[in-house]
Chain A
């Protein structure tokens, strides 16, 4: 029983961390329409930033300032914000696919730097030994797992509440206005360029917070944590959960991460022995089928955007029955 609780807490911790990143993406895509294809770069900036600031010193290695946890995490978030600001200045005037591929490129370049810049990031070996907050004080592994889950859920709740306030404020309405029709937004005196950059930076800082929590959970980070598959996972969570809906984003994170891990678990348990060595490929095929099937069945996500009457949903076509009803 304790084992089950311990595992579920562990699962929920990772799902919660991913959910925070999904919320960040939801602000960028769901609310502002920015196609960020490089989620992993900002997640990674937060992770490496937190590690450099809060990690233990090591000879011949930059960083290892061993700052208090809150300062390190905050610093990591800020670093993610600075990276996002620079990337945003360079790329945000691009649209759609062009923006997606440019930001994707930024993520590849970022991974490349972490893999090669030994002095800064430890190279492919990564950085180790992050002191987990209050681990020594709590001691017991099981209790600590619950404590860390609490920490992650608290951050998740704070981000969720903050975003809900933000997107329901006049500011949030302006963001959606830019998403739908930039020219009209400009005509009423809004500055789309600045607002898009702000949304991009805030969203990326939220992703950075997820990265910071991730590195404190594993106490280790390496370029392997920054594989493009993470960007794909986070996007899949948002799409399945429902872009534009913060609760959908969280639901999507738990569902997709659940499906991802459960499929491996189920295959290890129920696949015949002869198939065990092929489960890796079969699992990928299953994940692919689930995502494709989901998009065919319910492309607007499980919890679609709740559209108020004043907003016209541009992309809404046949499938978006609920949206149409609300619009009418």
Chain B
């Protein structure tokens, strides 16, 4: 029970990171972006490339940090991957979504995002192959925190949770303490009014893609660190990340964070109520349940 709860929190932190950008994008551009989760894959694979590259260039950094399987080179690679994934998100927007936005409605965007997801996933497959890959082949053993009730935690997971919280905290500071943050929130609340007050919408949209891409890349690397990389990894996250966004309420950053943890914990606890084969349906039962009570999610507002 405790174990499932803790595991859920740890998985939840990754889902939350993925959901933050998605909730902002869905709210500002008013479309459900199915290609968004592919950014996790782009981030994770970019980090893999940089990790290999840096290990050759700076062998001194390739040692493990403490009890983690994380190496110095990978830690640097995360940052680079965040930049690359953020930039990819902006490029994809410029190439596809911006053009469709200019002449069509939200639904066309949803379907374009399906198409983009297909393209991205299969390009990753063509480049990296379909085999599962790992940053490090070593298995990091869990630390026994308590024997009764049994509670095991892996150092990597603690790192992932802390890193995710740091990123979220950073975002919180940006949103609440900077002019840019105010501008972003203003656009999120009322795009028209914000524009009238002199906020440049295009700048904000670009920044949101950058932030979302960067956070997703971090989520992707963190996931791959505790599991493994495969071209389908982004695809596997589409549903949990959407679930977190919807449960939290579209447009709410804090809702997305909370939603991520709810989905993670619920999936962790699912086996206590459902037979194992039914676990994949769990995120949706949560969605249905939350939407029954609050049709616009926990923190969402009626978009009209």
A and B touch in the complex (CB under 8 A): yes
| Contact of B108 (CB < 8 Å), options: A35, A100, A116, A299 | A299
Asked if A109 contacts B284 (CB within 8 A), the reply is: yes
When chains A and B are docked, how far (Å) is the Cα of A97 from the Cα of B107? 10
| Contact of A236 (CB < 8 Å), options: B104, B114, B296 | B114
Given A97-B32, A101-B287, A291-B112 contact (CB < 8 Å): yes
Render A89-115 as a binary contact track against B, CB cut-off 8 A, 1 for contact.
011011111101110111011001101
Asked if B26 contacts A296 (CB within 8 A), the reply is: no
Asked if B103 contacts A317 (CB within 8 A), the reply is: yes
- Stretch in contact with the other chain, from A149-157, A172-180, A276-284: A276-284
- Contacts of A100 on B, CB cut-off 8 Å? 32, 110
- Contacts of B89 on A, CB cut-off 8 Å? none
Asked if B288 contacts A102 (CB within 8 A), the reply is: yes
Q: Which of A238-292 contact B (CB under 8 A)?
A: 239, 243, 278, 281-282, 284-285, 287-292
Render B85-113 as a binary contact track against A, CB cut-off 8 A, 1 for contact.
00000000000100110111111101110
Render B107-138 as a binary contact track against A, CB cut-off 8 A, 1 for contact.
11011101111110111011000000000000
| Contact of B111 (CB < 8 Å), options: A281, A284, A295 | A295
| Contact of A285 (CB < 8 Å), options: B107, B123, B246, B275 | B123
- Contacts of A105 on B, CB cut-off 8 Å? 243, 281, 283-285, 287-288
Q: Is B199 an interface residue (CB 8 A)?
A: no
- Contacts of A97 on B, CB cut-off 8 Å? 26, 31-32, 246, 250
- Contacts of A236 on B, CB cut-off 8 Å? 111, 114
The range of chain B's interface size is 35 or more
Q: Is B58 an interface residue (CB 8 A)?
A: no
Q: Is A319 an interface residue (CB 8 A)?
A: yes
Q: Is A160 an interface residue (CB 8 A)?
A: no
Render A61-104 as a binary contact track against B, CB cut-off 8 A, 1 for contact.
00000000000000000000000000000110111111011101
Q: Which of A158-182 contact B (CB under 8 A)?
A: none
| Contact of B118 (CB < 8 Å), options: A284, A299, A318 | A284
Q: Is A300 an interface residue (CB 8 A)?
A: yes
Find the A residue at minimum CB distance from B292: A90
Asked if B278 contacts A292 (CB within 8 A), the reply is: no
Asked if A288 contacts B119 (CB within 8 A), the reply is: yes
Besides A98-B296, A278-B126, 7 more A-B contacts (Cβ < 8 Å) are A90-B288, A90-B292, A116-B278, A284-B122, A288-B117, A291-B114, A292-B112
Top 9 nearest A-B pairs by Cβ distance? A105-B284, A299-B104, A319-B103, A288-B118, A288-B119, A291-B115, A116-B277, A292-B115, A315-B105
List 24 A–B pairs whose Cβ atoms lie within 8 Å, in order of A's numbering: A35-B107, A96-B106, A98-B250, A98-B291, A101-B32, A102-B284, A102-B288, A106-B284, A109-B281, A112-B280, A116-B278, A232-B114, A285-B119, A288-B117, A289-B119, A292-B116, A292-B119, A295-B100, A295-B115, A296-B112, A299-B100, A299-B105, A318-B102, A319-B103
